[in-house]
């Protein structure tokens, strides 16, 4: 069996920046354990497998794997897969079947190897648990308890398909000096895959309003350069403190890793209720090849 694949850098317009993604095309017939093994072989934060959709009205079905687990939804694989499909089919919209539901992505082609994709969240974020106290959070992140919290924002647990602990910190300097204490991590953050999204406001920066870092030892990922599913969860906390209307945020991630990324977030509140959330970003193809799985 031979399978073609692409490597894209997502949430960036620059090659060798952003979050790398492997896209295995025409992956019909692969077993679950084969997909997981291939994702482990690539050893990127996520690998996606494109297969034929169940409905003829849809463009493709996509399954998403980290090096150690399958995810029902993730943002940078959705953006990357949408751009890959858009470049292949030369269409401006694709409908992708994922475990969380069907996601419609709008694509803007930049050139034959790059594009921008945005999509509405198939599941709006909701509060799904209780966050640890500031003392335990600070110990796990190697910061001081008084560093936890940013303006109106306090730690929370939200999910838009994948559970994340959302931890606001005082400023970008605190964000930069995080040093994880991995011992006892799963006891401090027991829900989901023990994933933590640390964020802060960036009033002194021109290109973004927020900055974040994501740590996910339970997914087989130490730190992730750009995490759309976490940004989707964060929309829930941002919306909690927002007025009615539509708002757009630009968020940077991955700068501390040397993989700067930019995630666009959008949401709308009506009558005090979150009614829409969306994620968008660029993706650029950096390579392609063939998997040779023949004995």
Residue spans per domain, the chain = 2-120+282-292, 126-278
Choose the catalytic residue: 14, 41, 46, 205: 46
Q: φ and ψ at 3, to 5 degrees? A: -130, 135
- CATH code 3.10.310.10 for 2-120+282-292: yes
The structure tokens listed for 92 are 């401006």
To the query of whether residue 288 is one of the catalytic residues in this protein, the response is no
Listed residue (279, 270, 128, 103) closest to 195, CA to CA: 128
On the question of a common fold for 2-120+282-292 and 126-278, the answer reads yes
Per CATH, the number for 126-278 is 3.10.310.10
Q: For each of the chain's 295 residues, which pLDDT tens digit applies?
A: 899 999 999 999 999 999 999 999 999 999 999 999 999 999 999 999 999 999 999 999 999 999 999 999 999 999 999 999 999 988 999 999 999 999 999 999 999 999 999 999 999 999 999 999 999 999 999 999 999 999 999 999 999 999 999 999 999 999 999 999 999 999 999 999 999 999 999 999 999 999 999 999 877 778 999 999 999 999 999 999 999 999 999 999 999 999 999 999 999 999 999 999 999 999 999 999 999 988 7
Listed residue (282, 267, 225) closest to 110, CA to CA: 282
State pTM to two decimals: 0.96
Listed residue (132, 91, 130) closest to 109, CA to CA: 91
Q: Are 237 and 126 in contact (CB under 8 A)?
A: no
């Amino acid at each position: 069996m031979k399978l073609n694949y692409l490597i894209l850098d997502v949430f960036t317009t620059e090659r060798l920046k952003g979050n790398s993604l492997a896209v295995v095309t025409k992956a019909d017939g692969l077993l679950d354990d084969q997909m997981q093994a291939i994702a482990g072989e690539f050893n990127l934060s996520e690998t996606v497998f494109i297969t034929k959709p169940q409905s003829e009205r849809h463009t493709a079905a996509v399954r998403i794997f980290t090096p150690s687990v399958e995810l029902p939804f993730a943002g940078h694989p959705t953006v990357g897969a949408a751009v890959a499909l858009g470049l292949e089919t030369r269409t401006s919209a694709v409908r992708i079947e994922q475990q969380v539901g069907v996601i419609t992505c709008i694509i803007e082609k930049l050139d034959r190897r790059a594009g921008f994709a945005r999509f509405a969240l198939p599941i709006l974020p909701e509060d799904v648990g209780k966050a640890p106290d500031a003392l335990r959070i600070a110990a796990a992140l190697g910061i001081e308890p008084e560093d936890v919290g940013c303006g109106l924002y306090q730690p929370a647990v939200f999910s838009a398909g994948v559970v994340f602990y959302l931890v606001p910190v005082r400023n970008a300097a605190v964000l930069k000096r995080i040093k994880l204490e991995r011992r006892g991590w799963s006891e401090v953050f027991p829900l989901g895959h023990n994933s933590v999204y640390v964020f802060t406001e960036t009033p002194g920066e021109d290109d973004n309003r927020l900055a974040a870092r994501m740590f996910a030892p339970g997914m087989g990922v130490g730190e992730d350069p750009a995490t759309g599913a976490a940004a989707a969860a964060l929309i829930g906390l941002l919306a909690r403190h927002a007025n009615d209307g539509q708002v757009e945020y630009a968020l940077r991630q991955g700068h501390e890793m040397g993989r700067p990324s930019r995630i666009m977030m959008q949401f709308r509140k009506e009558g005090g209720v979150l009614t829409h959330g969306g994620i968008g970003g660029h993706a650029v193809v950096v390579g392609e090849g063939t998997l040779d799985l023949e004995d």
